[in-house]
Every structure is written in structure tokens, then in C-alpha cells.
Amino acid sequence: AQRVTQPEKLLSVFKGAPVELKCNYSYSGSPELFWYVQYSRQRLQLLLRHISRESIKGFTADLNKGETSFHLKKPFAQEEDSAMYYCALFTSYGKLTFGQGTILTVHP
């Protein structure tokens, strides 16, 4: 069965420090993974997709099939990055399976 695991419920860093939000997945097929961000209980917004290999707001994520991971990274965290981050796995019929989410707090 497909599963997405975000092991850290809370993550705190200081402004300017590197940040890495962990995501591991379990899926028998070829995975397609996403990161979503939610600011202050607002709507979820797509941050990036692994297939596009893009960098949004300084964030990047690389799919590691060997480790079944899709960790989200940013070299220098900013206070405005404080939010809830969800990793999601695309499965059948367009369904996205979400992890439990990680609340990132960037301190000044």
C-alpha cells in the first residue's frame, strides 16, 4: 500500500540556517511526488513537483529511489518560510496521499 511518512512533526531553525524536511514514501509503482505548503491554516499551495526538477522560493527536492525519499531542502531559511509542509505521493486516479505534515518555524 502507498504511504508517505514525514518523521518530524515540528522543525525549528534560525534564519539563515539550512533546512531539510524529510519525506519517505512506500509505493510499488513509479512514484510521482509533490511538496505542498500551507501558511497559517490557509489553503494548501503546490510548492514543487519532482518531475519538473524546479526550485521554488529557494526550495529544492530530489527523488532518491534507492532510499525512497523526497526530502525538501533550502540552504538559507527565511522567516517567511514558517509554515506547514506536506509531502504527497500521486497514485491511481489522480489521488494524492499526503504525509502527516511538518510544521517549520524559522526564528529570527
Partner 1 sequence: DSGVTQTPKHLITATGQRVTLRCSPRSGDLSVYWYQQSLDQGLQFLIQYYNGEERAKGNILERFSAQQFPDLHSELNLSSLELGDSALYFCASSKSDSTSYGYTFGSGTRLTVV
Contact with partner 1 (CB under 8 A) among 13, 72, 101, 104:
101
42, 92, 40, 46: which is closest to 72 by C-alpha?
46
- Radius of gyration of the CA atoms of the chain, in A: 13
The neighbour count for residue 12, using CB atoms within 10 Å, is 14
Contact with partner 1 (CB under 8 A) among 22, 32, 60, 105:
32
CA 26, distance to chain mean position in Å, is: 15
Task: Give the binding range for partner 1 (CB under 8 A) out of 20-28, 62-70, 72-80, 82-90.
Answer: 82-90
By CB under 8 A, tell whether 42 contacts partner 1.
yes
The residues of the shown chain that bind partner 1, judged by CB under 8 A, are 32, 34, 36, 41-46, 49, 51, 86, 88, 90, 92-101
